[in-house]
Amino acid sequence: MDMLSALADLGVAADTLSAAENQRLDRDGFLPLPGILRQSEVDSLNARLAALTDAEGDRAGLEVHQETGTDRLADLVNKDPIFYVCFSHPRVLAAMRHVLGEFKLSSLNSRAALPGQGHQSLHADFGEPVSAGAYRVCNSIWLLDDFTADNGATRVVPGSHRRATMPAQEMPDPAGSHPEEVQLIAPAGTVVIFNSHLWHGGTLNRSDRPRRAMHGYFCQRDLPQQLDQNAYLRRTTYERLSPAQRFVLGVTEPPTS
């Protein structure tokens, strides 16, 4: 199995994203893909995440990261086949291919910003600046609630992925507002692709309900994953996955247990 074969098996073709969509992703560093999930799928995902959050309690998210003011879950690959769409959808994979070339899933997590919480400093998801075009990581936000101006929608600085700098190098306080920032306002069921070198951060949830999303985070194939899929993947999960899905996960051998 190789990248082209895996993508073809998962339905990715040369025209899965339009030229205009690719150009927007190159220029702005982010691309909303509306209508990826039906409302019934959004509802099912939210129900499953709620059940997992309740079951895992204070251990929820420990595999990767816990964050004050949010409900987080990690290692979703192993927790239900309902989550496989996040590393199998052809339009999402086409975007990852466009940004990264040879890629694999780095982690699949969820984040719900709680009421009165969720604000983040502007940041990039890579530890150092990279030159334009030499991108190493790319994310997808799966909107499980409408993202609004009031409920903690992610903010981004369009084009900042091409600046080869980090927010702290240009801003006196990356937690503050940036004159060029915009919020990702979109309905539930949208997936927003964003180049993870783009400056971004969650905003304060001023509503009375959690703002829920999943993050399918990808990296180039030579990088270590945020969650080592070979170390964590369960045999039952491995057996459910197609060879192409295993390739996208970067899984090289069947798990021993």
CATH superfamily label, 3-249: q2cbj1_9rhob like domain (2.60.120.620)
pTM over 0.75: yes
Specify the pLDDT at position 244: 98
Would you state the structure tokens that stand for residue 43, as one six-digit string? 């509802």
Specify the pLDDT at position 83: 98
Give yes or no for residue 253 having a pLDDT over 90. Answer: no
pLDDT digits (tens, 9 = 90+) for 53-107: 999 999 999 999 999 999 999 999 999 999 999 999 999 999 999 999 999 999 9
pLDDT digits (tens, 9 = 90+) for 13-41: 999 999 999 999 999 999 999 999 999 99
Q: Which residues of 146-167 are buried (b: 16+ CB within 10 A; e: fewer)?
A: ebbeebbbbbbbbbbbbbeebb
